[in-house]
Amino acid sequence: MWDIMEEHLEEAAFLASQWQRARHSPDYRLHEVAQGPEARLMAHLDGLACAGPEAPERLFIPWLESTRPEEVFVAALALMATGAPLDWLLPFFSEAPGPRQTALFKALRLAPTAEVSKFLRRRELQATPGLQAAAVGLLSLRGEALGAEALLPLLRSESAEIQTAALRALREDLPAARPLLESALGAQSSDVRIAAGETALALGYPAALQALRKPVASTAPEAARVLAVLAAAGHAEDVSRMAAALDVPALESAALWALGHSGWRHAAELCLEAMKHDRTARLAGEAFSRVTGLRLEGDFARPAKDDEENGLPPLEEDDLDADLVPSPEATLPLPDAAAVARWWVKEKDRFSPKTRYLRGQPLSPEVAWKALSTEPMRGREQLALDLAVQTQGAVRFDTRTWANRQTATLATGLTAARMGRPRLTTR
């Protein structure tokens, strides 16, 4: 029945592309992804799990050599689902970094088998900084606890890739790691600085904010990522930095993204002004709606002149360190700026300038947790970062795993014990 198995592979590859697009879409919610493309993809993977011992060599290995990332992704998942030895995957790790390797890493992150964790600790994966960093990142994303003994040597590494992975894997305030974390805030590598800033904020280090605020005035490539992290930090004074970034053409989209996630009333007013310009109207409308809760439909939207191509990232670009600021979406509604402005005149007084908001509600860990179930898929990764910062790292939510797994986690609720770590005001 090899023809049936090949059909399963082809359908799974197509659905992997659909699943990837849905994961970043402003038009999908979590339950829609879980019940739609993901459920269909899982059904084909279940069929492939029955392929038998000849399947790896006959079916899956040829597909692992494909130039199409979605084919590599499903072939790796199918191979692991059959219980085949993971040694089959080793030759593909020695390749130069690229879309195929990224797709393989993604499959390893999502595979449920416990053998993956053992595989990622193998000596062969310590051969190069890139592979070692990927293995550390994957172990962390799979929920593996990496203690001080494992992390401290990695934090001291001269490789920026390894340092970045170790910083992202650091989940506790280890005394021996503090000087290394503070040193990383001033590292030459922007990847190291951003990872250090995110981790330091989640662990309650005030020094992180000052370190992150420095590059925002520049047009350095890291500035867009810094704005997203500052939005998660949630300080009203950083709205002025986002406003300044609006005047830098290369940072317009990132600035609007950050304003929407900052949650402040003044940020919403800046978005209202940006709605007047076609170039920024869609993103400004999305950001305004995220703060205020106004649905941009009916009288508050206008028909588009021209719908552009959807701006979702392809599978090969969805790497482990993907930027927090996605591409602009052509499917976002086009707001009627005048109608929205009239609504704001009537409603703005119910928004306190001293409170952060999400969809018109005062933002709290409980509100953010519930929103992970109800918000559009686009923006949930930023919301998870915000939640980690708000709870001082006590709540870490993985928005990159299977949607059905996320749904099950969110159904458990956000308990007081889970977010019980007190917020730090000094180191």
Q: Where are the alpha helices (DSSP H) in 114-159?
A: 115-120, 129-141, 148-155
Of the given ranges (87-101, 238-252, 365-379), which has the lowest mean pLDDT?
87-101
Residue in 242, 246, 218 with CA at minimum distance from that of residue 231: 242
Question: Is residue 86's pLDDT more than 50?
Answer: yes
User: How far is the C-alpha of 361 from the C-alpha of 179, rounded, in Å?
Assistant: 38
For residue 205, which of 228, 183, 237, 236 has the smallest C-alpha distance? Answer: 183
% of the chain at pLDDT higher than 90: 59
- Is the pLDDT reported for residue 241 higher than 90? yes
- Tell whether the model's pLDDT for residue 417 goes beyond 60: no
Query: pLDDT tens-digit profile of 130-170?
Result: 889 999 999 988 888 788 888 999 999 999 999 999 999 99
Distances (CA, A) of 248 to 39, 41, 45, 201, 234: 42, 42, 46, 26, 22
Q: Which residue has the tokens 């995110």?
A: 198
Contacts of 123 (CB under 8 A, 6+ apart): none
Tokens 């401290």, located at residue: 152
At 163-212, the pLDDT tens digits run: 999 999 998 888 899 999 999 998 989 899 999 999 999 998 878 888 88
Residues 421 and 392: beta-carbon distance below 8 Å: yes
Say if CB 391 and CB 415 are below 8 A apart: no
Q: Which residues make Cβ contacts (< 8 Å) with residue 352, sequence separation at least 6?
A: 265
268 pLDDT more than 50: yes
pLDDT at 400 over 50: yes
Nearest to 234 by CA among 377, 369, 358: 358
Contact at 8 Å (CB) between 289 and 259? no
- Three-state secondary-structure class, residue 342: helix
pLDDT at 112: 85
Q: Which residue has the tokens 């900084």?
A: 129
* pLDDT at 329 > cutoff 80: no
φ/ψ region of 143 (left if φ > 0, alpha if ψ in -120 to 50, else beta) reads: left
- CB of 334 closer than 8 Å to CB of 36: no
Q: What are phi and psi of 352, to 5 degrees?
A: -75, 135
Top mean-pLDDT range of 114-123, 210-219, 322-331: 114-123
Q: For residues 364 and 277, is the Cβ–Cβ distance under 8 A? A: no
Residue 425: pLDDT band (50, 70, 90) is very low
Q: What would the pLDDT profile of 352-395 be if each residue is shown by its tens digit?
A: 999 999 999 999 999 999 999 999 999 999 999 999 999 988 89
Token output for 220: 């350095």
Q: Which residues contact 103 (CB under 8 A, 6 or more apart)?
A: 69, 70, 72, 73, 76, 315, 316
- Distance, CA of 173 to CA of 186 (rounded, Å): 19
- The whole-number pLDDT of residue 315 equals 53
- Please tell me the distance from the alpha carbon of residue 1 to that of residue 5, in angstroms, as a whole number: 7
- 51-55, 135-139, 291-295: the lowest-pLDDT one: 51-55
What's the rounded mean pLDDT across residues 286-309? 85
Residues 24, 29, 33, CA angle at the centre, nearest 5°? 75
